[in-house]
Structure 1
Amino acid sequence: MINKFVMNPKVEKQLNIIQQLQTQSENTVQSLYAQAIIEYSLYHFKKDKLQHLLDEALRERDKMKFYQLSLEYTQWLDAHKEGKMVREDGFELLLTFE
């Protein structure tokens, strides 16, 4: 809250700007955090699912299914090897995966 006792209108205006920037920064950080949670969740969900399907193909001794899933799994890991950049309001956050 802006100090009600500020006499100079220019100072009050500057304080308002600072308060707006602080709120914007907090929103940006929260947005980046939310994006990171979503990206990590999607990554681990897909990775775990592929691992489960690979195990299933091994149990069933299905070579073709195992080969296809192995290829998809390798491509998934390769696509995330360098990480993923999330952006918001000019800020960038590099997410790294294992």
Structure 2
Amino acid sequence: MEKFAINKKMLRQLTLMNNHREPSLEVIDSLLAQIFLEVSVYRFKRSSIQKEIDTALETGNKELFKVLATKYNEILSKYKDGIHVSEQGFEFTMNLDE
């Protein structure tokens, strides 16, 4: 299980805009909540499709496998550059290197 905590690496990923002002705790909380939600959705979708692919392989369903493999590749493609969220002039990007 991965831990989500504010650390120096994450703070460096925050792109400070508008005269390099510091974000409020509410903005940081909101950005982290958005990232957490997006990562959760990504992992759920990826895991679900992987399970469906495994089932299609076990049952020998080639057509379903092709459809699911396409879906899986679309998800990977969508998130290949990580997850990007922004709020009140602050941006945060998290890579999904797994």
Do they superpose with TM above 0.5? yes
* Offset, 1:67: 0.4
Runs ≥4 in structure 1, deviation > 2 angstroms?
none
Which structure 2 segments of 5+ residues have no match? 1-20
Q: CA RMSD in A?
A: 1.6
Q: TM-score, normalised by structure 1?
A: 0.74
Aligned to 1:56: 55
Greater relative contact order (CA < 8 Å, ≥ 6 in sequence)? 2
SS in structure 1 at match of 2:96: coil
Which structure 1 segments of 5+ residues have no match? 1-20
Is 1:36 aligned with 2:35?
yes
Q: 2:35, 2:83 within 8 Å by CA — same for their partners in 1? A: no
Q: 2:56, 2:62 within 8 Å by CA — same for their partners in 1? A: yes
State how far apart, in whole Å, the 1-side matches of 2:28 and 2:50 are. Answer: 33
Residues 14-42 of structure 1, C-alpha deviation per residue, up to 9 Å, x if partnerless? Answer: xxxxxxx98x7010000001001100000
State how far apart, in whole Å, the 2-side matches of 1:33 and 1:84 are. Answer: 11
State how far apart, in whole Å, the 2-side matches of 1:84 and 1:37 are. Answer: 10
State how far apart, in whole Å, the 2-side matches of 1:71 and 1:37 are. Answer: 26
* Offset, 1:75: 1.0
Larger Cα-atom Rg: 1
More helix by share: 1
